[in-house]
Structure 1
Amino acid sequence: MRPRWFLAASILVLATAFTGPALGVGANARVTRDDTASSYLRYDGSSDATMAACSTGRRSQNEPTVAVDPNDTSVVVAGANDYCAAMVNGDVWAGYYRSTDGGSSWQDSLVPGYPADSSAGGLASPAHGSCGASGDPSQSFDNDGRLFYAFICFNRGKPVNGGVYVARYTDDGGTYDRTVLVKKGTPSAHFAGSGLFQDKINLAVDQTTGPDSGNVYVAWSQYTGLAGNNTVLLSRSTDHGLTFSQPIRVTPVAHGTASFADVAVGPDGAVYVSFIEYPSTSNPSAGIWLAKSTDGGASFGPAVLVASIVQFDSSQFSGNGASDCGDGPFACPTGFTFSRFFSSSAVAADAAGVHVVWAARTASGGQSKVFVRNSPDGVSWPTPAATIDAVATGHQWFPDIASSGGTINVVFYDSRADPTYSAARPPGNTASGANSGNVVNTYVAQSTNGGVSWSETQVSSAGSNFGWETHASRRDGFWGDYLYISAVGGTVKAAWTDSRDLVPGTDPRETGADDDADGFDVYQPCTYVPNDINAPSYSSPLVSDPCLSQGGLDQNIYAVSP
């Protein structure tokens, strides 16, 4: 057994940090243009009630994915959880956004199959009629301009049917072709009994010229009721996304609490899957692991421990174990307001080797940093893990990584701009639990020597705060579980969730003792029935009410070329 590397014991620093937007960084482009008529169209170029509502609804989007087309690098596509669909369909759906000018301008849409979709492609989708909510997008192209878009689809009540799907687009992502069900969930309620729920997906395509070129790999976590033995599974397609194999287990039995898989393909066609293992009775330490396949994803060798980590988890800031905190029933003992975040990993492979990144605390109760560890082959790890930079202020979280053309690129969120930063507080909160401002920015770090040293820059031209109460009847925040970066040749594109367009406001339900005056409320000129911040539910406003389309929920996806 390989010895474990405990990050808290020794930390190397491999980077030089540069703060503030850098010269040469492209302009931030708003991907989700939900304030412009006809900005959303169906895949066939037509409109319907859902597209019309999405075009001007100014609702929330989060959890972006982005992919550069190797067949034509002027084509860039993105995806997100798009809550505009809820205005007509009642729940979130997977958004699909495409640019043909390198990401300067975008045409927005939804993946076909949403409940009110009457198009031929939508009615033919296996998701249509089976599930009413979709999201967790992940995308990648093959070398011939076929795009593969993975997403989960489920119902919030019975039958849950939480499954994994992959949509295929041809013509450089311009033509929707079909959607395939990869793995079906069960009807039982979320995390109840022995029901199976598929979640936390990631997709990669072999873009090499080797024998497995064009293979599509999709990995995800399968949650089994309350058993606590969720596992990482992987399925592959060897016929360009027409069919997918029965999934195989990437994590061995010992890894009973594994999640958040990330997939990469090396220049020799080797497939790598990184994941986090949470503490359990058999293993008290959280760890980042990597599994490798040398037969095109047909099988995987034993997973290797990359690093034991000290987790950075939002539940550490709530005082009651909650992973997100807000108002009313979502208020937490600490008085802080935040959406959920946690340690997760990502992997890239190139001619220099295999590179795994993750976010974790430097020590118990310490700052969260982005770490990297490099390996020549994904099996041996001759050098220790290191932080991307030496900046002593701010938390860092949700890294993603992509490598191409001799440059490794890592994108992450960073709160170094927070004047009230403390390692003991969640990003964007003062000591009293008030909003400390739009202090979260997106950074990209780059290495041109195989991950040995790094330079970094802020790529977001405006800050955000992830505590804005946009969800749960405007009493809690949700800003997604990841951001994304894609690199093909010399073209790099990063995408993130952004609050610059959101309109702050006051909550009409917060009066007297119920008004916490913390500065996280959003503009919502609505009449609530009942007018009670602690109500279990509301008969008004409905999700389609125009009062919710006035900018208070205007969380968007932005993209940039570093």
Structure 2
Amino acid sequence: MDKKIMIGLVIGSIMIVSGITLSGYPAPRGTDVSIKSAALVQNEISLTLIPGTQPGKPQVLLAAYNDNPYSFGSGIGYGYSTDGGATWTTGNLPFPFNPLTGMNMDQEFDPTATSDTLGNLYIGHIASEIGGSSGLYVHKSTNGGGTWLSPVTVALDGPPSGDPDPLYRFNDRCQMTADTFSGSPYTNNIYITWIKDRGFHMPQPWSDVYFSYSTNQGVSFSSAVRINDIGHDMGNMPIPAVAPNGTVYVVWMDYNVTSGGNGTIYLDKSFDGGVTWGTDQFVAQINLPPLRLNTAAGFTDVLAKGGTPIAVSPTNSSELYIVYAADPDGNGTDEADIFFIKSTDGGSSWSSPLRVNDDSTKNDQFLPWMDVKSDGTIDIAWYDRRNDVNDSLWDVYFAKSTDGGSSFSQNIQLNDISFPTPTNLWMGEYLGLAVDSNYAFVAFTSSLTDVVTGDVYFDKVPNSLSTVYVDDDYNASTPGWQIDHFDTIQGAIDAVDVNGTVIVYNGTYTENIVVNKSITLQAGSNPVIDGNGTGDVIYISADWVTINGFTIQNSGTNWGDAGIEIATSNQCNVSRNNISTSNAGIVLSSSNNNVVLNNSIINNQYGIVGSSSSNNTISGNTINSNNYGDGIYLSSSSNNTISHNTITSNNAAGIYFDPSCNYNTISGNNISSNDDGIDIYGSVSNNYNTLSGNTIWNNSGYGIYFDWSRSNTISNNTISSNNYDGIWLFGSDNTTVFGNNILSNNEDGIYIEESDNNNVSDNIISNNGWRGIYIEESDNNTVSDNTIGNNSVYGVYIYSSIYNTLTGNTLTYNFDGIRLGLSNHITITNNTIANSNYSGIWVSSSSTNNTITNNTISHNRYGVQFSDSNHSTIANNSISNSSWYGMIFDNSNNNTVSGNTISNNGWRGLHLYSSSDGNLIYNNYFNNTNNAYDDGNNTWNITKTSGTNIINGSYLGGNFWSDYAGSDTNGDGLGDTDLPYNCSGNIANGGDWHPLVTPSTPSIDYITITFGTENEIPPGNMSTGFTFTMYATAFNT
């Protein structure tokens, strides 16, 4: 297993999770359970484990502790658990034999525990003999703590000659760890550190840092080596740690300080399994205030001097962590806090201290301990007196970091009930902390049941808090309080693990919540989160966050404040929430691949706001009555899907795109009673967006408005009853408008202005207040296969535009079917135009070089009308049943009219007046009561030319006239008499010199039949196969 045992001084008591479970809740932290409760003291606990297969249940948990260290004969106690700490089996280690005196040692202390990957457990400790020797010993168990082998001597010292204080020449303060990294060249090496005191009662006591190692699972240990440099020889509690690559680090506190503070942290390291060591590296200089007990006699010092635990990242051998207690201001006005520092270069440089405890200042925090689990989570536990203003009662607190020590979680209290300082004023020098992949296990001293000396307790905290619960009715009596049960949502978010779930029950939570990790925030019933009018109610700054089922209200009113803000975060899901009375319902800022689903976003200033956010899905939401801005607003955002939302009664647009929104899809939405339905707007293009299958109706402005946008698609929408135009394209090119129903809008169905190369096809455009389609100053557009009817003014009006094409459309019951004004090179072909109140096609206002071909134009007042328009071609059209004129030209010159069938029109077939000159009219079919009128100088025929004419004759010349009374004398299909045809004088100047006539068929008076003489018909019957020849001659008399 990849683990490192970090050892630090801790005051306290030991707690055990009882496993008590409340219905509907996960197993809480439980009631404190004693590992060992006996007369006199149990303290200084070291904890290790052998990992198991079940969460929260290591194969073995081992706690080693001082057991009555203040009486001669005291020793090392231990307890082991195989059920995750619910129950413990305890015992005591034997006293080692001292070969220097031939007697057993009579006092043991400073236990340290570790384990290897082979399932072995180890306990190291100091042992001494009153009056002389002291030594360092390691015990080993190969059966999970059930039995222990005889101790192995690591170091043994007797009183040296010449020492002025021989009784106190001893080994002290040991700590131990094992290399458990599979990739290390020294896997399962055991490393142990300690100090040797020299002249403990001298005016200047000295203590050096020593190190030893075992390469054979504790069978023997190397000779002890001093690793501290000269001058750094007032060391205290050296602590070892192992890196994944096998590097061994040792950290200690040195009290030989020449300037500033009263302690210096040093680091040394070995790259060869502890054989050789380098030069001490300075880490930090800190202030170590005394720990004080407030008694009736005043403040009295409590004996609690801790170490500086070190840990190494399980994935980076150069990333080191140290935790320590220090007075932050150095003058005693602020009592000790817990600080964390980090190195990413193997200890050469260190970060600024980060305060781990999150209480207000001037509270005591002491004796921290640290461990790191395999996923890099850093766990820290310590003693804490924040809950007693009189500085008498103690608690044990815990925090963790999931971001490599950049920040730490909200602190949680582990013990159930605060406990007093032991009256013997001895808290020990460390507590125990060990981790597996699921839990942090903590062992500590508590004087709750033994106020004189304290007992050993155990507790555990889920390292993977996969589910945490919130209820505003929870309090300190709730099992799991501040562990997995909280009364604030933020507290639960801080506590839950990455990818965990926070379930929030009914209540109103006045909070501004920050979600900075991947979690699910799930409403358990109908909780309300109220932002109290400031900032974001919920601010999401992590990927893979889910927010589901809340009522969220009352954000701040500044731009950017929101019910929910997703900031630089991806793959989040916000669904089934009710969001109201906020500046914006939801804000997406530089966030991608998120889902906003089935929310009710009502009565905010803005509905949903997205900026620089792409590949998001906004679907199934109700976005209503947002009273300042848009239902949905996007800027610089692409590839988003906005679908099946109901967007109504917003003060601005239902959906609004600002510049640079590309490749978005807006589909299946119901958009009504807003200002505009959809605005795609901006001075920078919004390109390649698709608007499909939406119902856009009853908006007070436009149904859809595109401004300076390119290559967008508007298809299969129903756009109706909007106060302005159904669709307005302004400065927008290459747009496809396809398959839409554009109905009953108050102004135009489609308005295209300064927009080129658009394609409008297969739409139904009817009952609009002005025009079905209006095209102004727009070129190269195609309008095809649309059904355009019952529009109050024009079916299609093209103004000041060139090179547009209208083809295949059906235009009925409009005031005018098609009108051109100041427009050139327009092609109008293959359309059906009927039942217009005025003109089927009206070409006006100096429109030139237009082409009108192959249209069917019927039952209008005027079939085709030209006003002041020249140089156009009107060919191959069917123009019939106009109530007034089939065609009328007013001051229109040099146009060509050919190949048209102009029939059954009420007043005239073709009427030219008011200086309409130079027009060429030939090869048309006129069959009207009054076929033509012309008071100008126009040409009614071309020179006789071979070719099939309109009545299938062999020559082109003039026109077919239903009332031409002349005859074709030479059979060429052109009239030869009564020329020029002038429609009974209605053609004032000239007329048709080659009127088309149907060639006459010669009559037959009689037929003579003769037979050839060689094959006369024989008399009688003829047999099959008989042949003969017959000759017939027709005679015309």
TM-score (norm: length of structure 2): 0.38
Residues in 1 aligned to 2:448 and 2:275: alpha-carbon distance in whole angstroms: 44
Kindly tell me: are residues 399 and 284 of structure 1, through their superposed partners in 2, closer, same or farther at Cα, counting changes over 3 Å? closer
Q: Deviations over 1:103-159 (max 9, x none)?
A: 110011001237xxxxxxxx899999331010110000001111110001113x312
| Identity within the alignment, % | 27
Quote how far apart the aligned CAs of 1:390 are.
Answer: 3.8
What corresponds to 1:340 in structure 2? 303
Q: Which residue number in structure 1 is paired with residue 382 of structure 2?
A: 412
Q: Identify the match of residue 307 of structure 1 among 284, 307, 311.
A: 284
TM-superposed CA distance for 1:69, in Å, is 1.1
Alignment of 1:242-281 (within 5 A): 242-281=219-258
Q: Does 2:215 match 1:238?
A: yes
CA contact (8 A) 2:195 2:235 kept: yes
Q: Structure 1 residues 336, 285: closer, same or farther in 2, change over 3 A? A: closer
CA–CA separation in structure 2 for the residues paired with 1:125 and 1:286: 37
Q: Which position in structure 2 is the counterpart of 1:80? A: 65
The one-character-per-residue Cα deviations of 1:446-474 (angstroms, maximum 9, x if unpaired) are 011111110121111121222x32xxxxx
- Contact kept, 8 Å, 2:98 with 2:105, in 1: the verdict is no
Counterparts in 2 of 1:191 and 1:497: CA distance versus 1, 3 Å = farther
- 1:410-460 deviation digits (Å, cap 9, x = unpaired): 11001000123xxxxxx42xxxxxxxxxx2100111011111110121111
Give every structure 1 segment of 4 or more consecutive aligned residues whose post-TM-superposition deviation is greater than 6 Å.
Answer: 123-128, 188-191, 324-327
Post-superposition shift, 1:172?
2.5
Higher mean displacement: 447-456 or 178-187: 178-187
Question: What displacement does 1:342 show?
Answer: 3.0
SS at match of 2:104: coil
- Which residue is equivalent to 2:155? 183
- The answer to whether 1:400 aligns with 2:373 is no
Q: Counterpart of 1:374?
A: 342
2:134 aligns with 162
Cα distance in 1, alignment partners of residues 395 and 65 from structure 2: 19
Match of 1:486 in 2: 434
Is the contact made by 1:28 and 1:558 (CA closer than 8 Å) also made in structure 2? no
What one-letter code is carried by the residue in structure 2 that aligns with 1:407?
Answer: T
Query: Residue type matched to 1:498 in 2?
Result: S
Separation in structure 1 between the aligned mates of residue 301 and residue 261 of structure 2, nearest angstrom? 27
CA distance, structure 1, for counterparts of residue 177 and residue 34 of structure 2? 22
List aligned pairs for 1:61-460, cutoff 5 A.
Answer: 61-70=42-51, 73-83=58-68, 90-113=72-95, 129-155=103-129, 157-159=130-132, 161-187=133-159, 192=165, 196-209=169-182, 210-225=184-199, 226=202, 228-281=205-258, 285-314=262-291, 335-350=298-313, 351-352=315-316, 353-363=319-329, 364-365=331-332, 366-381=334-349, 383-393=351-361, 394-405=363-374, 406-420=376-390, 427-428=391-392, 439-455=393-409, 456-460=411-415
Aligned length: 420
Distance 1:32 1:347, change over 3 A: same
Maintained 8 Å contact 2:69/2:107: no
1:10-49 maps to which residues of 2 (within 5 A)? 26-34=29-37
| Shift in CA distance, 125/71, structure 1 to aligned 2, threshold 3 Å | farther
1:23 to partner: Cα distance: 8.6
Q: Is the 8 A contact 1:186 1:196 kept in 2?
A: yes
2:496 equivalent to 1:496:
no
RMSD over aligned Cα atoms: 2.9
Distance 1:23 1:337 in 2: 43
CA contact under 8 A between 1:412 and 1:442: conserved in structure 2? yes
CA contact (8 A) 1:28 1:559 kept: no
- The letter for the 2-side match of 1:380 is S
Distance 1:248 1:346 in 2: 21
Deviations 1:185-229 (A, max 9, x none): 224799815963100110001111122111111100110113533
2:367/2:429 contact within 8 Å kept: yes
Other structure's SS at 1:105 match: coil
* Higher normalized strand content (fraction of residues): 2
Check conservation: 1:125, 1:179, Cα contact below 8 A. no
State the partner residue of 2:40: 59
Measure, in 2, the Cα distance between the counterparts of 1:28 and 1:313.
31
* Pairwise CA distance, 1:408: 0.6
Q: Does the CA-based 8 Å contact 1:194-1:224 persist in structure 2?
A: no
- Shift in alpha-carbon separation, 1:102–1:254, aligned structure 2, 3 A: same
8 A contact 2:341–2:350 mirrored in 1: no
8 Å Cα contact 2:64/2:112 also seen in 1 = yes
CA contact (8 A) 1:113 1:125 kept: no
**Structure 1 residues 337 and 28, CA gap change in structure 2 (3 angstroms):** farther
CA contact (8 A) 1:257 1:280 kept: no
Shift of 1:281: 4.8
What's the offset of the Cα at 1:381? 2.5
Question: Structure 2: how far apart are the matches of 1:501 and 1:128?
Answer: 40
Q: CA deviation at 1:396?
A: 0.6
1:461 pairs with 2:423: no
Task: State the Cα distance separating 1:180 from its structure 2 match.
Answer: 0.7
Change (3 A) 1:292 1:111: same
> Whole-Å Cα distance in 2 between the matches of residues 338 and 64 of structure 1?
22
Q: CA 1:343/1:202 → structure 2, altered by over 3 Å: closer, same or farther? A: closer
- Which residue identity does 1:136 align to in structure 2? D
Secondary structure at the counterpart of residue 206 of structure 2? coil
Q: Does structure 1 retain, via aligned residues, the 8 Å contact 2:116–2:179?
A: yes
Identify unmatched segments of 5+ residues in structure 2.
1-24, 462-1037
Higher helix share: 1
What CA distance in whole angstroms lies between the structure 1 residues aligned with 2:380 and 2:408? 10
Question: For residue 180 of structure 2, what is the amino acid of its counterpart?
Answer: Q
2:207, 2:40 → 1: CA distance?
A: 32
Within 1, Cα distance between the matches of 2:427 and 2:357?
A: 25
Distance in 1 (CA, whole Å) between partners of 2:429 and 2:459 is 19
- What amino acid sits opposite 1:355 in the alignment? Y
Call closer, same or farther: CA 1:413–1:259 in 2, change over 3 Å.
same
Contact 2:75 2:95 in 1 (8 A): no
Secondary structure of the residue aligned to 1:177 is: coil
Aligned partner of 1:16 in structure 2 is: none
* Matched-pair contact (CA < 8 Å) for 1:113–1:124: no
Give the conservation status (yes or no) of the 8 Å contact 2:100–2:158. Answer: no
Inter-partner Cα distance in structure 2 for 1:283 and 1:215: 38
Residues 304 and 426, structure 2, Cα contact 8 Å, conserved in 1: no
SS at match of 2:62: strand
TM-score (norm 1): 0.69
> Is the partner of 1:104 in helix, strand or coil?
coil
Residues 82 and 374 of structure 1: is their aligned pair in 2 closer, same or farther, counting only changes over 3 Å?
same
Residue 280 of structure 2 aligns with an amino acid whose one-letter code is A
The verdict on how the C-alpha distance between 1:484 and 1:126 changes in structure 2, with shifts beyond 3 A counting, is farther
Distance in 1 between the 2:100 and 2:46 partners?
22
Cα deviation for residue 339 of structure 1 reads 2.8
Q: Which protein has the larger Cα radius of gyration, Structure 1 or Structure 2?
A: 2
